[in-house]
Amino acid sequence: MSANQNIKPLTTRINENGNLEISGCDLTELAGTFSTPLYVLDEVTLRTICNDYKEAFKRYPETRLLFASKSLCTLATSRIFSQEGFGFDVVSDGEMFTVNHAGVNMKTVLFNGNNKSIDELTLALELGIGRISVDNFLELSLLNELALKEGKTADILLRITPGIECHTHEYIQTGHLDSKFGFDLTQIDSAIELIKDEYKSLNIKGLHAHIGSQIFETKVYKDEVDILFEQMIRINKKFALNIDELNLGGGLGVKYTDADHPPSTFEIADIIINALEENIKKYGTKPPVIYLEPGRSIVCTAGVTLYTIGSSKQVPHGTKYVSVDGGMADNPRPSMYQAKYTARIANKPDAAPLETVTIAGRYCESGDILIKDISLPHPEEGDILCVYDTGAYNYSMSSNYNRVPKPAMVLVNNGSADIIIERETLQDLIRNDRIPKRLGET
């Protein structure tokens, strides 16, 4: 069993006061000290999952692990992942800027995305990004022009659409999957010809693909390896090249509820490595370097969000709504795509569930529902609700909807809690606002 198969952070327990604690920090005390909503991140769980990945892939030494920054990008977490030997998959100038300021070796960073701007590509070249995953013909041309102007050669991967689409328990495989990302398989040769014959400031190192998110199916990883390997061999033979890097992307699922049964990092590693070894033997070639881009499976389980329970409403002969002081602005996933979560009342975690309620957010939208039909002990005003598995994509996708400041985030470890993201203030909300002079003085 690996850490991504847990719902709770690994250090979660009930303490002598009868409250939930994580890494020695009482969650009700954290709520009192730092206010709510509050993102809480367990450093032990983060580092354990990183070590799971390293252990799982150690029998294939050519593995390079890149943390998918889009799932959670802060200075502190970037420092932790860098300390654990991870590189980074970034998708914007903001993520590049953040990991650079965290002291990350930028040679370990890959820049990915389907519509990179000229400013972003320029910054990537200036920072010495290790790899740029090129997504389309326009980007090939732009990057070559910019690299030529800078007197540099850009090391690139060619992102392709391998014809595999993953869902939680099923997938379809076609020759021409409809996707906004990457070169279709029928476009690869045209791209290679341009790189080889015209774009002399680009150095193609390998291929890149991504097959989905929150993946529970395992065979798709073998299919992906087979397709990328076949294309690599074909390209090398046809164009007399020696590309030897395959980026398999990320997407391993996590356990949000008891109904979820994601594979472990070790299961995935065995499937990928076995497929690589089969292809190496089949084609009689040296082992290629592989990149993996885990994001959700590293940070999700490590994070929880704390809310304070406020008002409640019992619909006659219907739903009981229990409202909290956060919602769709700090966690848009339930509203966007009906994501499901597990939660407990942190100040009475041992109490028997007495009623089924729906947790409603504070925002002015009927769809602002965090959790539907959850069984809890009788929830009372002032109780602290702990929602598990919020480390990935909650802060990353948060907003100031209804002009509400974003929550703080604390990193906990061995009884210590350190702010790694300050709570926004009302002044922060208007920091970039401007009133034209013609509208008069305030």
Report the pLDDT value the prediction gives residue 166, as an integer from 0 to 100.
55
Q: Hey, CA dihedral for 378, 380, 382, 388, is it positive or negative? A: positive
Distance CA 188, CA 200 (A): 17
Cβ neighbours around 395 below 10 Å, total: 24
Report the pLDDT value the prediction gives residue 186, as an integer from 0 to 100.
85
Report the pLDDT value the prediction gives residue 179, as an integer from 0 to 100.
64
Report the pLDDT value the prediction gives residue 174, as an integer from 0 to 100.
32
Cβ neighbours around 312 below 10 Å, total: 15
Closest CA to 263 of 406, 38, 56: 56
Q: Where are the domains of the chain?
A: 3-41+301-429, 43-299
How far is CA 91 from its chain centroid?
Answer: 11
Report the pLDDT value the prediction gives residue 44, as an integer from 0 to 100.
98
Distance CA 114, CA 135 (A): 5
Does 364 qualify as catalytic in the annotation? yes
Domain 3-41+301-429 falls in which CATH fold?
Lyase, Ornithine Decarboxylase; Chain A, domain 1 (2.40.37)
- Strand pairing class (384-388; 303-314): antiparallel
Q: Give pTM, 2 decimals.
A: 0.94
> Which residue out of 25, 166, 300, 364 is catalytically annotated?
364
Is-contact 396 409, C-beta < 8 A?
A: no
Closest CA to 309 of 367, 407, 363, 385: 385
Per-residue pLDDT 10s for the chain (442 aa) are 788 899 999 999 999 999 999 999 999 999 999 999 999 999 999 999 999 999 999 999 999 999 999 999 999 999 999 999 999 999 999 999 999 999 999 999 999 998 999 999 999 999 999 999 999 999 999 999 999 999 999 999 999 988 766 554 333 333 235 567 778 888 999 999 999 999 999 999 999 999 888 888 888 999 999 999 999 999 999 999 999 999 999 999 999 999 999 999 999 999 999 999 999 999 999 999 999 999 999 999 999 999 999 999 999 989 999 999 999 999 999 999 899 999 999 999 999 999 999 999 999 999 999 999 999 999 999 999 999 999 999 999 999 999 999 999 999 999 999 999 999 999 999 999 999 999 998 6
- b/e sequence 166-204, b meaning 16+ C-beta within 10 Å: beeeebeeeeebeeebbbebeebeebbeebeeebebbeb
CATH superfamily of 43-299: Alanine racemase (3.20.20.10)
Distance CA 81, CA 433 (A): 35
- b/e sequence 217-237, b meaning 16+ C-beta within 10 Å: beebbbbbbbbbbebbbebee
Is-contact 311 269, C-beta < 8 A?
A: no
